[in-house]
Amino acid sequence: MPKHSSTWPVFWPVAVATALSLLGDTAMYTVLPTHNDQAGVAVASIGILLSANRWVRFASNGGVGWLAERWPRRWLFVPALFLGVLSTALYALTRGFWFLLVARLLWGVAWSGIWVVGNAIILDAAAEHQRGRWVGFYHTSFFMGGMIGAPLGGILTDAVGYGGAMGILALFMFGGAVCALLFLPETRPHPIPTNPITPAELPPATPIPDEKAPAWRPLLTTMGLLLTNRLLVSGFLLATFGRLLAERWGETMQIGAWEMGIATATGLGLGLTTIMSMISSSVAGGVSDRLGSRWRTAAGGLLLMAAGFLALSQATSVWFIVLGFPLISLGSGSLQSLSTVLMGDLVHGRQRGRYLGIFYTVGDAASALGPLLAYAILASGAGFGWLYGFACGLALLMFLGVSLRQGG
């Protein structure tokens, strides 16, 4: 990673803080489906709780995006990190549906500030010809949080219990928030001048900066990329993987001579495959910079995702999981960064806060509906084969839509 770049002093505190902020949330996805009794909630409440943080972001994303156009970025990003620490501390200190629901709603508001503003900060700092690479690096930090949080949450839960694990993770998150507080510089573009340049004062070939609205067709396709990725991965896969393992193998898994608890197995599985998402997130952004075509790179990611879900739909043995998870992770990582890069290409600097708020609200809607839809499909008796086969079909439909887009 090019540390000499002027983007580096902005990048590293945002990336470190974002990765650590995710520890509590990714651990919750790992342990709640299998340790709901320790959290004091019924199995029927799992889908509601895992999606509640996304529902609240329908309102908070837009509000944060509006504020990001008017306030310094730091004023939003740093307090959001500390709010995330508070939400995870509540996981540790409280029990029961209503307390956990409040904590999940707080986390939803916190993540709006972290993710919407964090991406705006990176887009502020990155040069246009390097935008894919730096956004890819930043989204790698997102996957780094998942890679650490999922296995660490599972291992700590098996070792010290649900409450102790969440308390330890909250301390790590606090360290990330302090890092951003101390080292993150301000990046918000200068406000619009009181007497802006008029068309008559500009050279004929120079447009008025930031005034042109983005083209709606590529904008909708870009939002469709994010929606598909979040629905299938955050919504379907992460919310159901623990239940899949529990249904197939019970409370423990035996791999050779090594026996492990189901929470540890779930966490290690999610964490190890997240490494693939980290790699593909940064690689896909750089490849799209060099090729000059974000759409072709995104189409390849969708095909990988479809193949992975097809393998999981046949998961009668562990080898289908070993095959499917890396393919999904490679596809998901590329779409994670490319959809944001495309949004940065389509939307100019002063408008980014507003459009990023809308953009991630679409993604959160998919993530919020995903667990509810996934558990509804499972409750109908269709089973995991039908669930993951349906996911494969949706990925292929989005591939057809992306294939119709031309140019970069």
The 3 state secondary structure assigned to 89-145 is HHHHHCCCHHHHHHHHHHHHHHHHHHHHHHHHHHHHHCCHHHHHHHHHHHHHHHHHH
Angle at CA of residue 31, ends 26 and 35, nearest 5°: 155
Judge whether residue 277 has pLDDT over 90: no
Of 48-57, 301-310, 343-352, highest mean pLDDT: 301-310
The mean per-residue pLDDT over the stretch 350-363 comes to 83
Q: Cβ(73)–Cβ(301) under 8 Å?
A: no
Judge whether residue 206 has pLDDT over 60: no
**Of the candidates 169, 171, 167, 168, which has an alpha carbon nearest to the alpha carbon of residue 149?**
169
Judge whether residue 266 has pLDDT over 80: no
Judge whether residue 207 has pLDDT over 70: no
The mean per-residue pLDDT over the stretch 325-348 comes to 87
Residue 259: beta bridge partners?
A: 254
Q: How far is CA 399 from the centre of its chain?
A: 20
Q: State the pLDDT confidence band at 226, using cuts at 50, 70 and 90.
A: very high
Q: State the pLDDT confidence band at 189, using cuts at 50, 70 and 90.
A: low
**Of the candidates 32, 280, 311, which has an alpha carbon nearest to the alpha carbon of residue 149?**
32
The mean per-residue pLDDT over the stretch 376-387 comes to 87
Burial bucket for residue 286 (CB in 10 Å: 0-12, 13-18, 19+): middle
Q: What's residue 205's pLDDT? A: 40
The mean per-residue pLDDT over the stretch 15-27 comes to 95
DSSP letter assigned to residue 207:
P
Of residues 51 and 122, more confidently modeled: 122
Q: Tell me the Cα Rg of the chain.
A: 21
The residue type at 295? W
Q: What's residue 46's pLDDT? A: 87
The residue type at 126? A
**Of the candidates 125, 54, 144, 55, which has an alpha carbon nearest to the alpha carbon of residue 333?**
144
Of residues 400 and 289, more confidently modeled: 400
DSSP helix/strand/coil, 70: coil
Cα distance between residue 148 and residue 31, in whole Å: 14
Q: What's residue 212's pLDDT? A: 62
Q: What's residue 199's pLDDT? A: 43
- In the chain, how long is the greatest CA-to-CA distance? 78
Q: How far is CA 244 from the centre of its chain?
A: 22
Of residues 250 and 13, more confidently modeled: 13
Q: State the pLDDT confidence band at 204, using cuts at 50, 70 and 90.
A: very low
**Of the candidates 91, 142, 86, 83, which has an alpha carbon nearest to the alpha carbon of residue 110?**
83
Cα distance between residue 152 and residue 173, in whole Å: 13
Of residues 52 and 54, more confidently modeled: 52
* 199-213, 223-237, 394-408: least confidently modelled range: 199-213
Judge whether residue 309 has pLDDT over 80: yes
Q: What's residue 213's pLDDT? A: 62
Judge whether residue 270 has pLDDT over 50: yes
The mean per-residue pLDDT over the stretch 138-164 comes to 87
Judge whether residue 245 has pLDDT over 80: no
pLDDT above 90 covers what percent of the chain? 36
Q: What's residue 140's pLDDT? A: 83
Of residues 267 and 304, more confidently modeled: 304
* 53-57, 218-222, 318-322: least confidently modelled range: 318-322
DSSP helix/strand/coil, 370: helix
Of residues 233 and 204, more confidently modeled: 233
Q: State the pLDDT confidence band at 208, using cuts at 50, 70 and 90.
A: very low
**How far is the CA of 300 from the CAs of 207, 235, 244, 307, 366, in angstroms?**
34, 21, 27, 11, 21
For residue 20 the two structure tokens come to 């650590």
The CATH number of 8-186+216-403, from 3.40.50.300, 1.10.3720.10, 3.30.110.40, 1.20.1250.20, is: 1.20.1250.20
- 0.85 exceeded by pTM: no
φ, ψ of residue 192 in degrees (nearest 5):
-60, 135
φ, ψ of residue 41 in degrees (nearest 5):
-130, 155
The mean per-residue pLDDT over the stretch 82-91 comes to 96
Q: State the pLDDT confidence band at 214, using cuts at 50, 70 and 90.
A: low
Of 167-181, 311-325, 330-344, highest mean pLDDT: 167-181
Mean pLDDT over the full length of the chain = 84
Judge whether residue 192 has pLDDT over 70: no
* 260-264, 283-287, 292-296: least confidently modelled range: 260-264
Cα distance between residue 307 and residue 298, in whole Å: 15
